Chains A and B, each alone.
Chain A
């Protein structure tokens, strides 16, 4: 810094030149914004009991584990349109929307839990007909998850 005696204008060196740094940082920022992938909106329905009802003979029950209570939820659909399905289980569950199904399944689960059955022993199998579209199956799955079922699987239409 050079200050002349009696000079009115004082020139301060305000540190290093930031321009190259800003240039590089901006390039990095734009690259990361363009190249990066964000999976924020993606989530999963998790099932650890994929399927039953295969053509082959099912495995015999494990005697070391308590017997399970299976609920087989039938799902039909008159048209291949999202939101048009009917899910039923005997006379206890009969619903045509996700909200109604969720509340009916919740009541059914509460009844089973009140009767002394443990949550782990209750398995819910979704059994759609062949023409039911995936969106509607996901809605049924979501309803079962919201109702509190922890073990949700599928049963094939072929039995």
Chain B
């Protein structure tokens, strides 16, 4: 017996496989893509390549700071999104200038409003406070050590250095 597909099926494009694939893609993007998550990363900063590095599973109690070096003055330039609702703000690493001192911001986050160990509510300590340094690959240790000293002054115990797994060309 000779079987023949119904003409209506032969004339129309079957979109069911396409819808299946698109649905899979949508589910993937919904799960994997971070939408509306702004940690305050400065995309202009070129982070260094590291051949050995780890992933961080939880970004809770984490402050990301962007660190670079002004090529003319050789001074450190630090920005961070300290409050979730406010945009990225410049922080003072050394000397004068307008804005808050990095060490003060870290101490405030670490020990709460009273800036002292102990307390509850607004004065509660965050012992697990983590600092993520998004540093420019060309900045000198002179700048980095000032950030490290500010972290040490605020008794931040965990530091993470953001790196890339994409090898530089050339």
* A29:B158 contact, CB within 8 angstroms: no
B30 at the interface (CB under 8 A from A): yes
**Residue of B at shortest CB range from A13?**
B8
Given A43-B164, A44-B55, A156-B149, 12 further pairs, Cβ under 8 A: A14-B9, A14-B12, A22-B22, A25-B23, A42-B165, A45-B163, A50-B157, A134-B138, A134-B140, A135-B48, A137-B141, A154-B148
Q: How large is the interface on B (under 10, 10 to 19, 20 to 34, 35 or more residues)?
A: 35 or more
Complex-state Cα separation, A54 to B132, whole angstroms? 21
* B29:A29 contact, CB within 8 angstroms: yes
Which of A93-113 touch B at CB < 8 Å?
Answer: 98
Secondary structure call for the A interface: mixed
Complex-state Cα separation, A128 to B160, whole angstroms? 18
Which of A2-60 touch B at CB < 8 Å?
Answer: 9-12, 14, 18, 21-22, 25-26, 28-29, 32-33, 35-39, 41-51, 54
18 A–B contacts, CB within 8 A, in A order: A18-B16, A25-B26, A29-B29, A32-B29, A42-B47, A43-B164, A44-B53, A44-B56, A45-B160, A47-B159, A48-B157, A49-B157, A131-B140, A134-B135, A137-B141, A145-B53, A146-B51, A157-B145
Contacts of B163 in A (CB 8 A): 42-45, 138
**A93, chain B: closest CB distance, angstroms:** 17
**Residue of B at shortest CB range from A36?**
B33
A71 at the interface (CB under 8 A from B): no
Complex-state Cα separation, A128 to B143, whole angstroms? 12
B142 at the interface (CB under 8 A from A): yes
Which of A74-125 touch B at CB < 8 Å?
Answer: 80, 82, 98
* A51:B141 contact, CB within 8 angstroms: no
Complex-state Cα separation, A157 to B54, whole angstroms? 27
A29: contacting residue among B25, B137, B139, B168, CB under 8 A: B25
Contacts of B161 in A (CB 8 A): 44-45, 47, 138, 141
Complex-state Cα separation, A81 to B9, whole angstroms? 66
**Residue of A at shortest CB range from B46?**
A135
Contacts of B55 in A (CB 8 A): 43-44
Contacts of A157 in B (CB 8 A): 141-142, 145
* A54:B149 contact, CB within 8 angstroms: yes
* A22:B141 contact, CB within 8 angstroms: no
B26: contacting residue among A29, A37, A39, A131, CB under 8 A: A29
Complex-state Cα separation, A22 to B144, whole angstroms? 51
A82 in contact with B50 given A10-B7, A138-B161, A156-B149 (CB within 8 Å): no
Contacts of B156 in A (CB 8 A): 50
